[in-house]
Each structure stands twice: as structure tokens, then as C-alpha cells.
Structure 1
Amino acid sequence: MGRWKNGILITYLVAIVFPFIFLFLLSMSSGWRFPDLLPEYFGFKNWGKVAGTESGIAQSFLISLVISLSVAVSSTLCGFVISRYVSYHPKKRLLTLLTYFPYILAPVVFGACLSYYFLKMGIFGTTFGVVLAQFIIAFPYALIFFSSFWNEKIKSYEDLVATLGGGSLTTFRKVLLPMARGLLMVCFFQTFLISWFEYGLTSIIGVGKVQTLTIKVFLFIKESNFYYGAMSCCMLIIPPVVMIYINKKYVFNKLI
């Protein structure tokens, strides 16, 4: 029975790890055609081009990083602050229901609806336009995420600080932010990943001018450049892996 369990565990681990290993091997290859068992070239030639401008992968990685960090920081902070007023509002149920509206439509359809207004504002096909479009998706998620934080216990802490003479700014800095530190980090990670892997909305609003790393992956696949596509996928995996490590080591362990 123990051998069966070990065999199932090993098979499970191989099934999870194999796609990532294969992507890495494919990113180091070139001229790998069927029915050849081995590629014509295997080395770091493709990765060496990342630092240059030939592939544009390094630039796309930086663009994606800037966009995702901007969306994560703004949506997390705005979601935390505004969720307080939504939670204490008399029409809380209606306002909470409205936060689900961006998720009713598919990202491509939602992007098509926004494109007219973004074109009028002159931000269609710009990095700021992509950040704003992704913020519209990530901000409602942050509102929903923080809705469970505001309860009677938190309200009693706020009333206590007010009784002792503390203002709203002091309450946020000294009481609410320290109490919600773990949730703020988790929400930041989640909204970062929402932005990092976003494709449909970015492709519509960015209109091909804002080439994030996710857009690059699909472009390489359409061009049948599987080696650069695999390399882009490897780079696409790096931030989530780092986020998971930080989340587990510094956030999750403290929450439990």
C-alpha cells in the first residue's frame, strides 16, 4: 500500500513539474522539428537575446511589471479605503451588487465597451489606458475582498479611538492599517496576478501598441516561434513564483 501511495505521489509531482521543465528546455532549444528526438541547438542563445532589443521580451517584462504594480497598489489602497464606506453605507447590498458588474461581461467584450470612451479621452492604445482598464477590473475585486474586514469589532475599535480623541487619519494609520496588514498583502498579490495574466482587456485597449509579456506570448505562438514563446512563458512564471514564496513565508504563516 505504501508503494502505491509513493507511486501516485511521484506521478502527481511529475505531472505538475513536467510542463515547467519542458518550457524551460524548449526555451533553450532551436531547430527542434519532428521526428528529431533532440534539437539542433541547445543552449542559452535565446536567453542571451533577452537583454537585447531583438526579441523585445525584456521590454515587455518591464512594461508588464510596471502595469501590474501600478494596478495592484492603486486597487488595493483604493479598495481598502472605499470598502469601509461601502460596508457602512445604508445601501450596502446594492453597492456590493454593483461591484460585480465588470465580471458579468467577458474581458474582450468589456474592453470593446470601454474602447469608445478611452478613445474620446485620448488614452486608447496607451500604457495609462491599459492601467486604467485593468484597474476597473481589479478595484471591484478589492472591494469584495475587503468587505469581510469591516465588522462590528472593527467599528468598536474605531469608536474607541474617536472617544480617546484620535482623528480619522490616526485611526487609519495606527489601528486599521496594522490590523489589515496581512489582508492588504494578500489583496496586493491577488490584484497583481489579475493584472499580470490579463490578456483580453489589454489586447483591446492596448490595440497592439502596449505589448505586455502576456501579449508577447500569444504573438510568438501565432508566429510559430515556440522557442521565444516558451522563453516568454518562463519569464511569465517568475513573478507568481516569487509572490507565492513571499506570501507563504511572510503572510500566510503569520495569519495562521
Structure 2
Amino acid sequence: MHRKILTAILTAAILLPFLFFGLLSVGQAWFYPSILPQRITLSNWQELLVGQSELQVGLLLSLILGLGVAALATLAGFIISKEIAQAKYRNRWLLLAYWPFVLSPVVLAILVQRFFLLTGMSGEIIGVLLGQLILAFPFAVIFFQSFWSQEVLQLEQQSQTLGASAVYTLQNVLLPLATPMLLICFFQTFLISWFEYGLTQFIGLGKVKTLTILVFKYVNEANIFHAALASLLIMLPPALLLWLNKKFVFRGI
């Protein structure tokens, strides 16, 4: 009985933000002391789905940056983490990987902003992507350190000793073992990019308007209905990735 009550409370706590933002996203003209908006309309959603609205462009930009950062960080992190695992000064290299997380994203953005200004990448999508990789790539390197255990490295050596090529060993030995971790790292680095604000705001100069940038913009404008819709769009992919993790990835592990 207590377990059912606790499950119901947790379920309600998880669903409440989705219901609240979902209600606001279809509302208009919400004035005190009314509990609910005066009008319910799908015009905000129609604006998202039809034409090239600001929200539509922001959603597309967030998806492009998220998928690009996740793919690059996962691939580079997997390769570089192996080199670090076999390096003589492994702990020193790992210590460097933790450095970006010592500073807040805003302070980090201020430190690297001059580089992006000199290279002409400030205010460009490529600049924001590289800026977000400053956080996502070290995360991937640290994440994959647990994969490159002595057992895995010895298994790789045994495969090559028996005559297998490096490509064959990668495709038939390492990747099958690493697939669950590769998927988890991809999801995690996607979320790092998806929720990132500080680096995106400074390096993007306000021109690269991802969903997180738009949420703050709408809040500052007191446009609660567009802010609710943008917030709901931000919340949906993490919920979907959590479901995919539970259904496929962790089951595979």
C-alpha cells in the first residue's frame, strides 16, 4: 500500500511539469486571479509547426547542435580515452580533462571568447558547437575511462596476437563490448548540449538562438505562453532518452 502511494506521488511529481507547461502552451490571456488561462488555443503550436517561426528555428538549431556535439564528443572521447588509459602519465591527462568542470560555463566562455572572436566563429553555429565540445568532450573522455580496463586491453591484444587486424578487432571485439556505453555517452553528451546556456549565449552572441536561449528571452519578455512551449520542447527529448535508456540500453547491459 505504501509502495503504491509513493509510486503515485513520484509519478505525479514527474508528470506535473509536463501538464503545467502543456496547459500554458495552449493558453492565452491569463490574468489574476484566474487559475486557468482565459482562452485555450493551438495557435502557439501552429506557429511552431507551420512556417519558419523563431521556435521552429530554435528547435532545429538545438537538434543540430545536440546531435553534432554528441556524435563528435562520443567518437573523439572513445578514441582519446583509450590513448589516455595506455599513457604513462594517465592521471595527469585525466586531471586536465576535469579542468573545464572547475569553472562555470559563463566564466569558461569569457576565457575562450577571444579565440572565437579572432577566428570569426563568434555568432556562428560552428563556434557554438566547438564551444559546447569544451564541456562534452572531456566528459566523454572521463566517462570511457571505466571501459578501458586491463581486461579489455588484454582482450584487444589477444585478438591481434591471434592474427586479427586492428579494424577487425575494433568491429568484432571492442565495439560490441562498448555499444551500451557508446549509447549512454551519446545520450549524455546530447543532453549537455541540449541544456547548455552560458557558452551558447556568450559565443553565439545572441545570434544562435537555441531553445534554452529562447526560454530566457521569452521569460524576460513576460511571454509566458511561448516560454512554456519552449520549456516543454526542452523537456521532451530527455524524457524520450530516459525511456530509450531504460527499455534498450540498460537492458542490454
The TM-score bracket by the shorter chain reads over 0.9
- Matching residue within 62, 72, 75 for 2:73: 75
- Matching residue within 218, 221, 244 for 1:220: 218
Structure-2 residue corresponding to 1:127? 125
Structure-2 residue corresponding to 1:190? 188
Structure-2 residue corresponding to 1:112? 110
In 2: Cα distance, 1:160 partner to 1:15 partner = 51
In 2: Cα distance, 1:9 partner to 1:246 partner = 21
Aligned partner of 1:227: which letter? F
TM-score (norm 2): 0.95
* SS of equivalent residue, structure 1 residue 166: coil
* SS of equivalent residue, structure 1 residue 36: coil
In 2: Cα distance, 1:163 partner to 1:7 partner = 58
Q: How does 1:154-169 map to 2 (within 5 A)?
A: 154-169=152-167
**Which 5+ residue runs of structure 1 have no aligned equivalent?**
none
In 2: Cα distance, 1:149 partner to 1:5 partner = 36
Distance change in 2, residues 1:7/1:179 (3 Å): closer
- Kindly state the Cα deviation for residue 13 of structure 1 after the two structures are TM-superposed: 2.8
**Pairing 1:27–2:15 present:** no
Tell me the matched-pair count. 253
Distance change in 2, residues 1:106/1:86 (3 Å): same
In 2: Cα distance, 1:217 partner to 1:91 partner = 43
- Kindly state the Cα deviation for residue 165 of structure 1 after the two structures are TM-superposed: 1.9
- Kindly state the Cα deviation for residue 174 of structure 1 after the two structures are TM-superposed: 2.0
Greater Cα offset, 108-117 or 49-58: 49-58
Aligned partner of 2:147: which letter? F
* SS of equivalent residue, structure 1 residue 105: coil
Deviations 1:7-52 (A, max 9, x none): 4543343233222211100111010111123322112121111124
Structure-2 residue corresponding to 1:98? 96
- Matching residue within 82, 85, 95 for 2:83: 85
- Kindly state the Cα deviation for residue 55 of structure 1 after the two structures are TM-superposed: 4.3
- Matching residue within 5, 15, 18 for 2:16: 18
TM-score (norm 1): 0.94
**Which 5+ residue runs of structure 2 have no aligned equivalent?**
none
Distance change in 2, residues 1:9/1:148 (3 Å): closer
* SS of equivalent residue, structure 1 residue 180: helix
Greater Cα offset, 170-179 or 142-151: 170-179
Structure-2 residue corresponding to 1:46? 44
Structure-2 residue corresponding to 1:146? 144
- Kindly state the Cα deviation for residue 171 of structure 1 after the two structures are TM-superposed: 1.9
In 2: Cα distance, 1:54 partner to 1:162 partner = 53
In 2: Cα distance, 1:38 partner to 1:191 partner = 37
In 2: Cα distance, 1:178 partner to 1:12 partner = 35
* SS of equivalent residue, structure 1 residue 124: coil
Structure-2 residue corresponding to 1:174? 172
Q: CA RMSD in A?
A: 1.4
Aligned partner of 1:119: which letter? L
